[in-house]
Structure 1
């Protein structure tokens, strides 16, 4: 015992020496601790688990109190435990007080609603409106309605009242494991139901007064620039991406240039820098102002006002708010004569965003925005990189080459940091973004945005046409770069759905590498490397089933994917392909040589895990004769249907029907290991989850029936 106590004291002293050397970096972990609590609330299923986490976090703080007084480890454990508990309570409280419960089930109704906002989506030939239903206490307080462009009534705008018929649906949860969770996002946005308005749409009361500035700016730019550059020009000015064609948006994502479409640090910094430059030049024309006035303070105040106005104009999305907050802190530091561009600035911005918008933590926008900025600042603070990038007296060609290397290095680091986030949320990541950004970022910052700003300014005197033409040519060049890079076979990396545990471990390792400064920082490469290996070894699912049971995709022995319903829309196909990490075309299951399909059923033979599997899927609502269907069920390992199946349908391993999917959501099945992943956790009590039917299914997906290991008959 004495020896153990001595070793503990020695180890504690070593940790204290290390933390003393890293004392400038310790405060950077405050937003991380707060974020852990927020993430725990999203990851854990119900209130008892949330309470247990809070108790464990506070217990960590209590353990810290037992350490020697005044030690840094003690303060870190106490602060970390309290902040983690605060994060969980913060998001829990916001969900209870401000979140809006969704519609419980689909319903077809006639709605009279007051229009809260209108957003044009030209790329999809529709208008998206937010409404508050009138005289309908059973409906949510806010619903989102899509209206076809041809059906939009005259006078539609904020403050109008319209009447129409619609089939309202609850906000959609992920279709398959790892998919986009619109239900969670809609809950915090206050959207309780969605639907598409059916004509005729009656205008009860037209909108009065002028349209909002953002809408007028949208319409003005749309009249000045032709497609395909029109959508990006509108996005850079208003933050609204609704006018960008899907093919262009996909090319921007695959080429690593999608960050240019999200109004964030690049755009806010360019605007503020331009305003400060102009104000300094204009004020310097006056001798009195140049000698007596605090020019930098005045210019910084003007830049701050411009940044805040731009943030409000573009919708105050999380990246824009983060960038605006960071810019204001930088301007404040510059006005006081201090070096403000540090990791503490990034941590402060993250704390402010998490305190006001804790739900943003789990979204890709917050994660990619802060990860990129953290990596950029951490790289800039590195002694060797700073020495290499510092200005010096040298030949022009050497300076140009060095700047290109600096730009390439920063782009490469940012791409590496953003890759796990992109793979987790989108199942794909750009591989050539660092090279594309060498041209795209200067083109956007120093050519496109100044030209567009000048064009808007000169439009006040009807002289903006030449500048709009130049803007269109520059944006056309940007799109050529995006499509050219996207066409390369090396442009993107595809993976199946990445488990949340793997993603969390990789992000923890990256933060450990970025936030510390001593050699111990490189210990973070361990979980990062383990995550990379795990992702490379991920086994794609053999069967994907959407939450409604209508769409099923299977993987064939040669690695292709096939879909049950040949008429499935592009959205469904994209969701299934991305979740499976598949980049090819989904062919109909009926065309597979190992499938036999009738108008009612499809039987598919698969080989996995060293044994044959027999899959039986319903494809219509036709009543099947009991004797033959019972025989087919008994011969199948897995039966999938979008309706309730009778009790006498007893497959060898798993029965998936409407009742089971109501409890689990979509499924991803791996036959090699006989495992099932589901969208919904057992007992999930998050407030946006629809109530689960009381009747239990015959089979629990977490405990599937043991399958018969005897060889099954081949189809």
Structure 2
């Protein structure tokens, strides 16, 4: 019982072989469960159930009541206390308490950040304080804390808006500005399951995005800026000043990358350089997260410990290691604040503080228990981080290394004297194999999350990281720390140039690796089921210490099978009906209408299609004229995209699905009609055709099913009662000469 209640991580290794006691299931289960309890491996499952509670919160419709999860949490805690004498029930009560604590945290967080969100496109004068400024190649992007938007009541006015400025010379954080802006509500996903900028913006307090349409005037503020804004503006100004200093000292693309590594401002990195780094699988180096925080804090730790070791009295009488750990914690905190305190940076700071805090109390610096504590702290602070790639990939990589690296440990042969050369060769061997092993394990652990969020895999990322990370670890980051320390004295120029030389080599290596054929593979979007199973397999491997680890083979196998045969959508529709991507008879997507290039790129990546948004082949298989387009699908159905009301009579009669940004006539007899009103209610929509039914998934309405025999128009949403197929009649070609067709591009 005490072992369950006070679960503490102890070192362990991977079971050498599968326990043959598996034949006797009950004895195998009890023996391995006893091992897990004895090794105190139940505690790491607390953040797992905490995260499950957060996931349940995000599945809830609307805003759940606070009393329900909080009351359930109180009951579970009371049950755990009352039944603490029964180990199994106690473990169940603790798990349920963690689950309801996660749900409660989500409710509290959603209510604490609640702020008005712009309801419709608005062009109006706006005034407010600039909170942050980001320099970009095409201008600046500012975050404005709004004081007034003409025509909007205070209850409808967003608290923060993010605006682009083409000519933003002289703008800086803390200024009170006024100008006319075109404002839009934060965009929803381009397809159901895609990146949800609106959700991220909500939790950041951003209620609108857009751009200034004219000159931006700097004015004397009518009200005093709040203290929080003055502090944020001061930090942002210092970051921008250092960013410009580093970028100017180094110059070129290396200057933008070098500045991003120190200050977190990535706006000066050319897009071509971003693509080069992504192609080599090392783009993670420009996002200040675990690698940067560990290297920065490690540099502080090493410097302080080395300097104190030079003084014999201090080395003998003072707790040098603990002092160095304390300084590293302070340095890491300052680095986090100065680099912008993004979600990834804060998460990395928490993990670093927990790691060095363990040094202060004489505990192992890196353990699964510390990782679990860091996960709970991060999720309690920002539960929405659980849904993002940053949290998933960073914690997944660390958990994977903790679970799999024991397999790759070597023991030195006993009884053999080593020469200095032997020691040097052994150190080099271990350094190289350690770098390769950690990169390989981290790549495998994060691959499912990369496939789910970005639909890309970098098979040569192992090579890119193996060549680039030594430069980053041994030159770039130590130079960054030294440059920041010498910056106040004005002696930082040579340090930045040294750092720039190393960054330039990293870019060159990335270009070479990215130039290898197949360095970037575009894969279809991983389904939620496959991602969940692969994540479960990773958790079992990382958190278990007994033969339970072999159970990971089951979810891993099923998850890989689902990932290898993904269920793709047949039609993607823009949230406003501005265009669609339809799978033609040849099996690829064909583009109709005029959706934005960004949206098209999202659709193509979700389908595992590597074509660019402007590829001419995207419009080759759509039969178009000024009234609209028709695409014939492999399953014998036709999808019509209507641009003119004159096309409704024929397309409603002939097509299986009609898509339009117009209002369809009430008598439209297509099996499914998605017009202006339907898309307004659904948002971005995707369709999958089955032999008996149409599966419809939309951003706002979730999943729906409709039998082919059910004829619908507009917003009829009741589930059909019949399942008989209805074969749509073929759509004839337009009665126009062949020369009158555009090449898939509607007029």
Normalising by structure 1, report the TM-score: 0.87
| Structure-2 separation of matches of 1:613 and 1:658 | 22
Aligned to 2:410: 387
Comparing 394-403 and 34-43, the one that deviates more? 394-403
Change in Cα spacing, 1:242 to 1:561, as seen in structure 2 (3 Å) is same
Aligned to 2:632: 605
Q: CA deviation at 1:189?
A: 0.8
| Structure-1 separation of matches of 2:97 and 2:672 | 45
Structure 1 segment 646-685 matched on structure 2, within 5 A: 646-651=665-670, 653-671=671-689, 675-680=694-699, 682=701
Change in Cα spacing, 1:56 to 1:122, as seen in structure 2 (3 Å) is same
Normalising by structure 2, report the TM-score: 0.83
Q: CA deviation at 1:631?
A: 2.3
Change in Cα spacing, 1:162 to 1:65, as seen in structure 2 (3 Å) is closer
Task: Select which of 719, 730, 734 maps to 1:712.
Answer: 730
Q: CA deviation at 1:550?
A: 0.6
| Structure-1 separation of matches of 2:715 and 2:137 | 45
| Other structure's SS at 2:214 match | strand
Structure 1 segment 315-714 matched on structure 2, within 5 A: 315-380=340-405, 382=406, 384-388=407-411, 393=418, 394=422, 396-397=424-425, 399-565=427-593, 568-586=595-613, 594-608=621-635, 612-619=636-643, 624-625=645-646, 629-651=648-670, 653-671=671-689, 675-680=694-699, 682=701, 697-700=714-717, 708-709=726-727, 712-713=730-731
| Structure-1 separation of matches of 2:237 and 2:618 | 53
1:236 is aligned to 2:261: yes
Contact 1:225-1:469 within 8 A present in 2 as well: yes
Task: Select which of 266, 270, 292 maps to 2:291.
Answer: 266
Contact 1:600-1:618 within 8 A present in 2 as well: yes
Aligned to 1:147: 164
Change in Cα spacing, 1:591 to 1:37, as seen in structure 2 (3 Å) is closer
Task: Select which of 96, 100, 103 maps to 1:81.
Answer: 96
Contact 1:101-1:187 within 8 A present in 2 as well: no
Query: What are structure 2's unaligned runs of at least 5 residues?
Result: 1-23, 704-712, 734-747
Contact 1:254-1:430 within 8 A present in 2 as well: yes
Q: How many residues align?
A: 680
Query: What are structure 1's unaligned runs of at least 5 residues?
Result: 1-9, 685-695
| Structure-1 separation of matches of 2:70 and 2:642 | 46
CA displacement 1:471-516 (0-9 Å, x = unmatched): 2221121112223223333323333232223222221121012110
| Other structure's SS at 2:132 match | strand
| Structure-2 separation of matches of 1:300 and 1:588 | 54
Task: Select which of 302, 324, 342 maps to 2:327.
Answer: 302
Comparing 71-80 and 207-216, the one that deviates more? 207-216
CA displacement 1:203-249 (0-9 Å, x = unmatched): 22389996632222122222212221122111110122222222322
Aligned to 1:112: 127
| Structure-2 separation of matches of 1:613 and 1:377 | 51
CA displacement 1:295-323 (0-9 Å, x = unmatched): 22322221111111111111222332232
Change in Cα spacing, 1:49 to 1:584, as seen in structure 2 (3 Å) is farther
CA displacement 1:582-610 (0-9 Å, x = unmatched): 101346789856533222311222222xx
Aligned Cα root-mean-square deviation (Å): 3.4
Change in Cα spacing, 1:114 to 1:478, as seen in structure 2 (3 Å) is same
Q: CA deviation at 1:17?
A: 3.7
Aligned to 2:199: 184
| Other structure's SS at 1:203 match | strand
Change in Cα spacing, 1:638 to 1:60, as seen in structure 2 (3 Å) is farther
1:159 is aligned to 2:186: no
Q: CA deviation at 1:546?
A: 1.6
CA displacement 1:168-225 (0-9 Å, x = unmatched): 2111110112211011111111111111111022222389996632222122222212
Contact 1:61-1:80 within 8 A present in 2 as well: no
Structure 1 segment 148-297 matched on structure 2, within 5 A: 148-150=165-167, 152=168, 154=170, 156-205=171-220, 212-297=237-322
| Structure-2 separation of matches of 1:332 and 1:595 | 62
